[in-house]
Amino acid sequence: MTENTAIEEERDDDAYVLDKGTVAAVLEAVEQRDSKRLAELTEPLHPADIADLLEQISEADRHELIRLYGREFDGDVLAELDEGVREDVVETLSPEALAGAVRELESDDVVDIIEDLDEPQQEAILDALEDADRVAVEQALTYPEFSAGRLMQRETVTVPEHWTVGEAIDFLRSAEELPEQFYHVILVNPRHEPVGYVTLGRLLSSRRDTKLKDITEDSFRTFQVNEDEADVAYAFNQYHLISAPVVDEQGRLVGVITIDDAMNVLDEEHEEDILRLAGVGESSMSDNVLETTRQRFPWLAVNLVTAIIASLVIALFEDTIARFVALAVLMPIVASMGGNAGTQSLTVAVRAIATRDLTGSNVWRVIRREALVGLANGLLFAVIMGAVGVIWFGSPALGLVIAAAMVINLVVAGLAGILIPVVLEKLGIDPALASGAFVTTVTDVVGFFAFLGLAAIFLL
């Protein structure tokens, strides 16, 4: 207990939230158009923190800041920005400042920036690049969006497969230019197909006459250039990879993906799942009212349709309700419990599909489990609600009806929560996106129908 408290306290003075004082000081410098003070304040900040700052201030302040910042705008900040804000910043930067910023970047970062921009903005950035970089970026853009080809860096460190440790070290020492980040030396055969890799640590600690082939890592695996980046990220996490070669359709080495890129993708995939489950497509703190309204409207519209369907079910029983108004008081409880149980079951299923923990091998066992869990919780809450019904309205018959409806709806909720995402996945539809609406419709319709239907039969 004391251990947890210590951690909680540390969280409170959170070291990684941009400190409010810094933001206020930056805004003051912007207001006073004091570019020297602005440079002093931002100088010690990491580009990722400057990007966060640009996202957190208002649009007007952001434009002022960029104008003051002028030509010193750091390309790395551009790479760290959220899509929406990045578009705004690219539009605000002068052509010279934009050219200066992107010229500093590695080609994979430029690809990352350029792929989300509009055509004219893309042109502006491509024009700013040197010829070699421009070709590299255009080449990368020919790979499908969200593919390994877009994620990889083209700079690789390769040696012939028959070399020794000594030869590899001498080669590295004499190399003109090495990538900023590399963790392995990749062994290639004469057809330039990667056949294994050796970690730099192993290279440094092995005898010079050791054959590289004899000290390659077991973890070695390659990715296809067209492979989905989400699958790549999954494999990095599952197999604890640090870097991995990317090959084209002929199996030839074309680039390398490193774990920090994979971590980024994993983070984005999670973000997407969590937002989709809540019916929010994309979203950022810096989106304005119009963008946010537009993002949220479609899901609310879908929900309106499902709510109206549920209302149609209620309308079938208008006479019953008119004669026994207690039903109107209690019916939302049955629907709400079903909705929540369904969401529990659904969320667990969606996550398990995403993490490959729900497969053909265990799906039937999990379906059976969800039905039984629904039954168990249904019986528990049937007893509780039955008692509430009797005490509140003094009617044992009403207690029995609500108890029975509760059991039925929680079993159905458990089943719908697992079956709907599994079927959607089979149909190639993202279960995170579409399951919620279906599950709620099922639990609302079944909940109202079971409760009011049983009431119509047994209470009148």
Binding window for a second copy (CB under 8 A); candidates: 67-75, 93-101, 105-113, 367-375: 367-375
Sequence-ordered list of residues with C-beta below 8 angstroms from that of 446, at least 6 positions apart, any chain: 338, 408, 409, 412
Judged by beta carbon, residue 307 or residue 397, the one nearer a second copy is 307
What's the token pair of residue 243? 């870097």
Judged by beta carbon, residue 132 or residue 289, the one nearer a second copy is 289
Judged by beta carbon, residue 100 or residue 338, the one nearer a second copy is 338
Query: Which run of H or of E encompasses 107?
Result: helix 107-114
Judged by beta carbon, residue 99 or residue 375, the one nearer a second copy is 375
DSSP state of 186: E
**Is there binding between residue 28 and a second copy (CB under 8 A)?**
no
Judged by beta carbon, residue 60 or residue 132, the one nearer a second copy is 60
Residues of this chain, 64-103, that bind a second copy according to CB under 8 A: none
Asked if residue 206 lies in contact with residue 215, where contact means CB atoms within 8 angstroms, the answer is: yes
Residues of this chain, 157-196, that bind a second copy according to CB under 8 A: 169, 172-173, 175, 178-179, 181-183
What's the token pair of residue 210? 């050791």
Distance (Å, whole) CA 16 – CA 14: 6
Residues of this chain, 371-390, that bind a second copy according to CB under 8 A: 372-373, 376-377, 380-381, 384-385, 388
**Is there binding between residue 335 and a second copy (CB under 8 A)?**
yes
Binding window for a second copy (CB under 8 A); candidates: 96-104, 112-120, 133-141, 259-267: 259-267
Distance (Å, whole) CA 452 – CA 314: 8
**Is there binding between residue 25 and a second copy (CB under 8 A)?**
no
What's the token pair of residue 251? 């199996």
Distance (Å, whole) CA 306 – CA 302: 7
**Is there binding between residue 17 and a second copy (CB under 8 A)?**
yes
Query: Which run of H or of E encompasses 442?
Result: helix 431-458
Binding window for a second copy (CB under 8 A); candidates: 33-41, 91-99, 132-140, 355-363: 355-363
**Is there binding between residue 234 and a second copy (CB under 8 A)?**
yes
Judged by beta carbon, residue 128 or residue 420, the one nearer a second copy is 420
Distance (Å, whole) CA 143 – CA 331: 54
Residues of this chain, 120-159, that bind a second copy according to CB under 8 A: 144-147
Asked if residue 274 lies in contact with residue 177, where contact means CB atoms within 8 angstroms, the answer is: no
Binds a second copy (CB under 8 A): choice among 68, 277, 422, 433: 277
Distance of CA 370 to the CA centre of its chain: 26
CA dihedral 341, 344, 349, 354 (to 10 degrees): 160
Binding window for a second copy (CB under 8 A); candidates: 63-71, 88-96, 107-115, 311-319: 311-319
Binds a second copy (CB under 8 A): choice among 68, 198, 244, 310: 310
Q: Of 70, 66, 43, 46, whose CA–CA distance to 54 is shortest?
A: 66
Distance (Å, whole) CA 256 – CA 265: 15
Asked if residue 348 lies in contact with residue 414, where contact means CB atoms within 8 angstroms, the answer is: no
Binding window for a second copy (CB under 8 A); candidates: 8-16, 119-127, 128-136, 186-194: 8-16
Q: How many CA atoms lie within 13 A of 277 on its CB side?
A: 18
Binds a second copy (CB under 8 A): choice among 32, 162, 251, 300: 300
Binding window for a second copy (CB under 8 A); candidates: 63-71, 97-105, 248-256, 297-305: 297-305
Binds a second copy (CB under 8 A): choice among 113, 266, 403, 416: 266
Binding window for a second copy (CB under 8 A); candidates: 87-95, 111-119, 244-252, 290-298: 290-298
Residues of this chain, 391-450, that bind a second copy according to CB under 8 A: 428, 440, 444, 448
SS (H, E, C) 66-79: HHHHHHHCCHHHHH
Judged by beta carbon, residue 99 or residue 279, the one nearer a second copy is 279
Binds a second copy (CB under 8 A): choice among 197, 236, 438, 449: 236
Binds a second copy (CB under 8 A): choice among 33, 71, 162, 270: 270
Q: At how many degrees (to 10) do helices 35-42 and 20-31 cross?
A: 160
CB 96, min distance to a second copy, A: 26
First to last CA, the chain: 55
Query: What are the Cα distances from residue 314, in Å, to 318, 406, 411?
Result: 7, 17, 21
DSSP state of 358: S
